[in-house]
Amino acid sequence: MTNSDRILKAAMSNGGTITTEQVNKMKIHRTTLRNMVDRGLLDRSSRGVYVLHAKLDDEFYNLQTRFKKGVFSNVSALYLLGFTDRTPIKFDMTFPASYNTSAFKNEITAHRVKQEFYKKGIINVKTPSGNKVNVYCIEHTLCDILKTGYEIDIQVITDAFKRYAGYKNKNLPLLSECAKMSRVEKKIRPYLEVLI
């Protein structure tokens, strides 16, 4: 099996995507990726991320690969979790407060939070293309979208809470805990009264 075949096989088992980092771990020189792009076997999606030719580009996975500390949040999280039908126009990602986000603010909407809240409720979810990314659980996300400073359409917020009301796996204690940490207890109270 040639190096190109090995890369194609790895990409196929990874939802059609391969990264330079993964190729390095396979002990294949990265120039093989460039040659595969030149031959039309792969497309360069973004820096260090390649997709199978004619495979739909997975922007969520590309961003996760580039910004490893980032966790999809707000409307991006609602979309990935199935609590909104609106496809995000610009992707929201949250980082630890100490993380420097100035280099990529034009690509994503970057949010920074304290370390203890950053770690709370991170789960793995599959993107529509089948790749796994980090996203906040729905309880964390519902609190995020109520914070002041985040301009989110009230219809998106209302729809998310309506869907949560019918959600079988809701975790009200976690929702209350996240509300306390986010300081949105007063804002969430009317929604909680409907849920209880």
Q: Residue 47 pLDDT > 70, yes or no?
A: yes
Q: Residue 75 pLDDT > 90, yes or no?
A: yes
* CA atoms within a 13 Å half-sphere pointing along the CA-CB vector of 19: 16
Separation between Cα atoms, residue 61 and residue 65, nearest integer Å: 6
Does the domain formed by 3-57 have CATH 1.10.10? yes
Residue 184, number of CB atoms within 10 A of its CB:
19
For the segment 167-175, the average pLDDT, to the nearest whole number, is: 91
Separation between Cα atoms, residue 153 and residue 66, nearest integer Å: 28
Name the pLDDT band for 121 (thresholds 50, 70, 90). Answer: very high
For the segment 120-140, the average pLDDT, to the nearest whole number, is: 92
* CA atoms within a 13 Å half-sphere pointing along the CA-CB vector of 168: 0
Q: Which residues pair with 95 in a beta bridge?
A: 112
Q: Residue 38 pLDDT > 60, yes or no?
A: yes
Residue with tokens 């030149």: 38
The proportion of the chain whose per-residue pLDDT surpasses 70, expressed as a percent, equals 94
For the segment 14-19, the average pLDDT, to the nearest whole number, is: 82
Separation between Cα atoms, residue 131 and residue 107, nearest integer Å: 20
Separation between Cα atoms, residue 15 and residue 152, nearest integer Å: 31
DSSP 8-state class, residue 102: G
Residues 157, 158, 163, 167: is their CA dihedral positive or negative?
positive
For the segment 71-98, the average pLDDT, to the nearest whole number, is: 92
- Ordered strands of the 92-96 beta sheet: 109-113, 92-96, 71-72, 132-136, 122-126
Q: Model-level pTM?
A: 0.75
Q: What is the pLDDT of residue 11?
A: 85
Separation between Cα atoms, residue 29 and residue 134, nearest integer Å: 28
**51-55, 131-135, 175-179 — which is least confidently predicted?**
51-55
- pLDDT for 141-161, tens place per residue? 999 999 866 678 888 888 999
Residues 83, 115, 171, 67: is their CA dihedral positive or negative?
positive
The candidate with the shortest Cα–Cα distance to 127, out of 62, 53, 44, is 62
Residue spans per domain, the chain = 3-57, 61-195
- pLDDT for 108-117, tens place per residue? 888 988 888 8
Q: Which residues pair with 71 in a beta bridge?
A: 94
Q: What is the pLDDT of residue 88?
A: 85
Q: For residue 102, which amino acid is it?
A: S
Q: Which residues pair with 111 in a beta bridge?
A: 94
